[in-house]
Chain A
């Protein structure tokens, strides 16, 4: 039977399938949110209290109030740019990066290439 960690991990993985943010989207965020998103990319995930702490560390001119931060987190979560697990003070947030699409070349090209490379002894 899967444990709590496995279940949370699966929940995160399922949600990550839907949409996501690109590095260029990050550039368009408000400075304070961009700072938090960058921090979250480095820490991989952050609790709500840790996010508040990071916001308190941003320069005063860029800082968001708690209500503004909560609204922004909700908006980013609705866009699937952030994934939220849990609610309120216990919520954990994680950035959801958009997957890089595979090549749009016709499938036949890939199977032909695959067959050719499969025959190469070194690649076996």
Chain B
């Protein structure tokens, strides 16, 4: 099996901070000296490119082009280490081995995928080739919230699945479904991360409660933060504000990923 690990980031519901977490985790792992890729498989509502400072004009070839046979994986990989300007946090990634494989944000290309469907043999080939062609240690997959077919494929091929949830009853019920599916697909490492926890909670108690409920480790409880909201996805928060409580907790999650054998 190729040596790079696939890390899928999933949440059952939208608005959990999945893309923000994925981008910051990938950045932290790249800062630790690893070769890292980030694929946006949220083809119908892509967004993670914003955190890396890309917009429609800067974006070159995308996963949509790959799925339509118009580009190779090599052509899609956008080096963040070579284009890290435009944000105090992102600037710290200069020279690091981090590539983004974005999905298109052009309306026509999104509607074309919705209309024509997806060749999953090709999508899987693309995911595996990002690892081999870029010699990645970690490939982070930002998935669409909920359980659709591309999300299930990424879960089925993952070495590590991180499920993000908020301390909210709807999230807790939805997470149960994802945990059941991940277990039935034999995902080797299932990790949980709680985001947007109100500071008034007892985090240690919350961690224990969630670990007991799902019988899986909670790698971090990240506080609800107005500072993060104020950042408005303009920069990589954990690099820009490394001493913030949110950033410290996120680094704990990154360490848990790096600790997986």
Interface on A for B, CB 8 Å cutoff?
16, 20, 22-24, 26-27, 31, 34-35, 38-39, 41-44, 95-103, 105, 110, 113-114, 117-118, 120, 122-123
Contacts and interface: CB of A to CB of B under 8 A. Distances in A.
Given A97-B120, A97-B153, A99-B119, A35 B186 contact: yes
Label chain B's interface by main secondary structure. Answer: helix
Interface of B: 1-2, 6, 56, 106-108, 111, 114-121, 124-125, 128, 149-150, 152-153, 155-157, 181, 184-186
Contacts of B155: 23
A82 B184 CA distance: 20
A38 B188 CA distance: 11
A95 to B, nearest CB: 8
Contacts, number: 86
Given A42-B128, A100-B150, A113 B111 contact: yes
Contacts of A23: 149, 152-153, 155-156, 185
Contact of A42 (B1, B111, B116, B185): B1
A114 B116 CA distance: 13
Label chain A's interface by main secondary structure. Answer: helix
B156 A26 contact: yes
Contact of B149 (A22, A39, A44, A113): A22
A123 B108 contact: yes
Given A16-B121, A35-B186, A114 B111 contact: yes
A44 B150 contact: no
Given A23-B153, A23-B185, A42-B1, A117 B116 contact: no
A31 B184 CA distance: 9
Contacts of A103: 114-115, 117
Given A97-B124, A113-B111, A38 B186 contact: yes
Chain A to chain B: the 5 pairs with minimum beta-carbon distance, closest first: A23-B152, A97-B120, A102-B117, A27-B184, A100-B118
